Amino acid sequence: MNLLFDTNILLNLGKGTRAQQILKIINPDNKKIFASVATMGELKSLVLQNNWGASRLQALDELLEDIVVVDINENMAGTYAEIDAYSQRRNPRIADYPFATPRNMGKNDLWIAATAALLGLKLVTTDADFNHLQNAFIEIQFIKPELLKV
């Protein structure tokens, strides 16, 4: 199964000097890596806000060279709606939820989850906000944040 990298994964890989070593741990089988255009927007905003220097920008650009960016399109809107309604425990197609209270997700996270679900990609993230979607919509590869530290 190919991988969809969440913003936090790319951000941390771009910050560090061990990106290739960490990539081998996260992706030992060298699967194709994708990122949502929502992730790219978040990433570019964070880079701008934190005034990354030339060496960090170059490292990030090198990392992104081999990543396929997936645009948001109309086909994803239905999946987005299903995931959002499920997260709020208000999806009329679901009778029994494995979680007791609604799970509020950021709008970009909903697009990222919809991308993974629609394209059958495993979401690689450090963000527990996606956990309730595991097996219901997507497969998740949860990475402990300390693995990404430089």
Report the CATH number that the domain containing residue 31 is assigned in CATH: 3.40.50.1010
Spatial CB neighbours of 120, under 8 Å, sequence gap ≥ 6: 1, 2
For residue 32, how many C-alpha atoms fall within 13 Å in the half-sphere facing its CB? Answer: 9
Q: Could you list the residue range(s) of the whole structural domain that residue 111 is in?
A: 3-148
Counting the structural domains of the chain, the total is 1
User: Mean pLDDT throughout 108-130?
Assistant: 98
Dump pLDDT digits (tens) for 45-58: 999 999 988 888 88
Q: What is the pLDDT of residue 98?
A: 95
Helices (H), the chain: 7-15, 19-26, 37-49, 54-64, 74-87, 107-119
Residue 80 pLDDT greater than 90, yes or no: yes
pLDDT bracket for residue 19 (50, 70, 90): confident
